[in-house]
Amino acid sequence: MYALLYALFKRQDFALFAKLNWLAILIDATDGTLARAVDIKKVVPTYDGALLDNIIDYQTFAVLPALAVIVFEIVPGSALQFIVAAMVLLSAAYQFCQTTAKTTEAFVGFPSYWNIVVFYIYYLECSMPVAVAVFTACAVLSFIPIHFIYPTRTIAFFNLNIIGAVIWATLMLFPTFFPKSQYARPALYASFVYAAYYLLVSLYLDSLRRIEERKA
């Protein structure tokens, strides 16, 4: 709500928007772990935390970034902005509503990290063709059942997944909270290491999974 009222509509302040989204990512990375730690399904058996998680995640990782595309003119031209925003919302809606959207260890399809996509395109000042290509590629990946690693659940490379995620979040602190720092740009580039690792490990593990399925 604060992101909607202040970062987007009142101040149109991308720096504030980024800070709030960074905090939202931090919360999203820890809420499930905390819920499982207290065995919430036994504590409150009639409460569907997974449903609440999906509602909040769709708002945070799809609706806010879609609005950011328009408010902060992530791509030029109102028509293109609405097309990209619609692409974000529709692909995320499809991904979130799949009964197989998550397994015990993975996200199936692009995990709707749209705010992170917006971060990089805005910070790197990507050209229109590059920005549209990235948005389109991620939207298409939402419909392809590739299993992407779930850092807090994927058993393979678990320690590397967690350590890498923590380092990535730390690196993103600089462009997000200290954009004028001399370390902001180097930290942003360095964060791509984990992004590349995430994609490559996801593809590797997905290929192993498919091989095992064919054998079975």
Is the CA virtual torsion 66, 180, 131, 103 positive or negative?
negative
Q: How far apart are CA 175 and CA 180, in angstroms?
A: 8
The answer for 148, left when phi > 0, alpha when psi is -120 to 50, beta otherwise, is beta
Averaged pLDDT for residues 83-87: 98
* Opening angle at CA 188, ends 56 and 108, nearest 5: 40
- Residue written as tokens 């009142």? 10
Q: pLDDT tier at 118 (50, 70, 90 boundaries)?
A: very high
Partnered with residue 148 across adjacent β-strands are: 107
Averaged pLDDT for residues 27-51: 86
DSSP summary character for residue 59: I
User: Are the C-beta atoms of residues 161 and 191 closer than 8 Å to each other?
Assistant: no
Averaged pLDDT for residues 69-84: 96
CA proximity to 23, closest of 54, 60, 49, 58 = 60
131-160 CB burial, b ≥16 within 10 A, e <16: bbebbeebbebbeeebbbbbbebbeebeee
The pLDDT value recorded for residue 128 is 96
For the whole model, what pTM was predicted? 0.90
* Average pLDDT across the chain, whole number: 93
- Would you say residue 216 has pLDDT above 80? no
User: Could you give the number of structural domains in the chain?
Assistant: 1
Domain that holds residue 167: 2-215
The pLDDT value recorded for residue 39 is 87
